[in-house]
Structure 1
Amino acid sequence: MVIRFQILFIRNNEGEVGPFQWNQSSLRDPIIYYEDINQDNQNEIVFINIFDHGTGIILSEAHVIAINSTEVIVEPIQEIIKENIRFSGKQVYLEDRLIYETSKYGDLKAYYDDWINYKVVNGKLIGGVRIGDGRTEQYAGYLEVEYAFYEGKYVVKEIRHIEDDEMQTEGLPLPLTIRKKY
């Protein structure tokens, strides 16, 4: 996998927005959505940059571009999980509330090295992280974070355990222009 620093421009109905200086995989094009994810009746551009993708692997990051062409901060899912989730053996707690328990796995943990998946579903920005014990071929599901727009950035609205995290492989095909930095 080769990740390179790029200067990116995105074209939509209103014209071209950018430049944005993000790392971009040379192996996979980004997924771009044009959807209202903060319920202000105006579409945002959601740019899902996929760094690595393969059988059982997806590593991505989310960027949100507001109607005024400025990037809005998306709190990284790793920080959200570390601040809100506690793993205790075969149990997963959201603050002090048990949200998942299993008897067939060892000590559970989040797998940030092989599954960080962002997508837009029903007008909501969603992030997912795989959990498991690292010793079995099976995983114990996923922690899914639903984001909300609050005080000028996208932060956690809800965290839940889900059995399967479907990868979104298609967004709105907005044209993307990559310009080399000189």
Structure 2
Amino acid sequence: MKRCIPFIMAFLLIIVPNNPRAEMEGYDIVARSSKEDITLYAKQMNDLYYDFKLDFKGEVYSRPFWINVANNITYAPQIYYEDINKDKKQELIIILNQGYGTGVLQQKVYVYRYTNGLIDVLVDDPMAIIYKNVKTKLTTDKAEIKIGDNVYKVDITPLKIKPTNLFEDISFGGVIKYEVKDHQLIATISGQISPAGFVGQLVIVYEYRDKMYQAETIEFQPSPEL
């Protein structure tokens, strides 16, 4: 009988998996998809979440360098689990809010596929996409945005911006926002022409190509005031 007890204990150690949720002491739940059994944990220091842990269906992944603001539930991390590359398999998309303010929103997106574990998939930086594909001009009465063969000309006089407050050119990137809509990853980037004046936004729809997410379409949308 004495020989059986160690054998039984060893057997139990092999077949009983660790409970990942027991490792989350000292962490807050910052986002959860109960339907998909996905939970995001983080530590909080002042107004910032840091040192993230991702519990994906019982498997725990550490993301120590992720950050997200912690002082406003509106800007909590977002979890999506959808097929966004048309391979009939779901991808995990995490959107983090790293900063916000008047005319400012900075988001970061992470996309993963699952093959014997979560594998990071590169998403082309929206600012790099803009620098490579968008040309702009700005005068005291007109903004011009050229994307490939498409040229958008916008009368900015309704904004009544003083020439002394007008930027030299359109500035993109004050707002970088991501969303998943209709099974597509979309980035929206603001176009600013003065400290408080926005001419519109660029909308980038991503597609999966050459083992990464790249721009499929880039569209300019003028501000409602124009």
TM-score scaled by structure 1?
A: 0.77
- The answer as to whether partners of 1:3 and 1:23 remain within 8 angstroms in 2 is no
How far apart are the structure 1 equivalents of 2:131 and 2:47?
Answer: 28
Q: Which residue of 2 aligns with 1:176?
A: none
| Aligned pairs for 1:7-156 within 5 A | 7-12=52-57, 15-16=58-59, 18-27=61-70, 28-68=75-115, 69-89=118-138, 90-98=143-151, 100-104=152-156, 108-112=169-173, 114-134=174-194, 137-156=196-215
Q: Which amino acid aligns with 1:6?
A: D
Q: Which residue of 1 aligns with 2:33?
A: none
| 3-state SS of 1:141 partner | strand
How far apart are the structure 2 equivalents of 1:93 and 1:103?
Answer: 15
> Greater relative contact order: 1 or 2 (C-alpha under 8 angstroms, separation 6 or more)?
1
Q: Which amino acid aligns with 1:134?
A: S
| Residue deviations 1:45-67 (CA, integer Å, cap 9, x gap) | 10001111345431101100112
Distance change (3 Å), C-alpha of 1:124 and 1:26: same
TM-score scaled by structure 2?
A: 0.63
- The answer as to whether partners of 1:8 and 1:22 remain within 8 angstroms in 2 is no
How far apart are the structure 2 equivalents of 1:36 and 1:11?
Answer: 16
Q: Which amino acid aligns with 1:59?
A: Q
How far apart are the structure 2 equivalents of 1:36 and 1:10?
Answer: 19
Q: Which runs of 5+ in 1 are unaligned?
A: 166-182
Q: CA deviation at 1:42?
A: 1.1
Q: Which amino acid aligns with 1:85?
A: V
Distance change (3 Å), C-alpha of 1:163 and 1:33: farther
How far apart are the structure 2 equivalents of 1:61 and 1:88?
Answer: 28
- The answer as to whether partners of 1:147 and 1:158 remain within 8 angstroms in 2 is yes
Q: Which structure shows the bigger proportion of residues in helix conformation?
A: 2
Q: Which amino acid aligns with 1:11?
A: F
Q: CA deviation at 1:38?
A: 0.5
Q: CA deviation at 1:96?
A: 4.4
How far apart are the structure 2 equivalents of 1:4 and 1:50?
Answer: 10
Distance change (3 Å), C-alpha of 1:163 and 1:31: farther
Over alpha carbons, which structure has the higher Rg? 2
- The answer as to whether partners of 1:128 and 1:144 remain within 8 angstroms in 2 is yes
CA RMSD of aligned residues (A): 2.4
Of 88-97 and 146-155, deviating more is 88-97
Q: Which runs of 5+ in 2 are unaligned?
A: 1-45, 158-165
User: Where do 4+ consecutive residues of structure 1 move more than 6 Å?
Assistant: none
| Residue deviations 1:22-57 (CA, integer Å, cap 9, x gap) | 321242431111111001111111000111134543
Distance change (3 Å), C-alpha of 1:17 and 1:119: farther
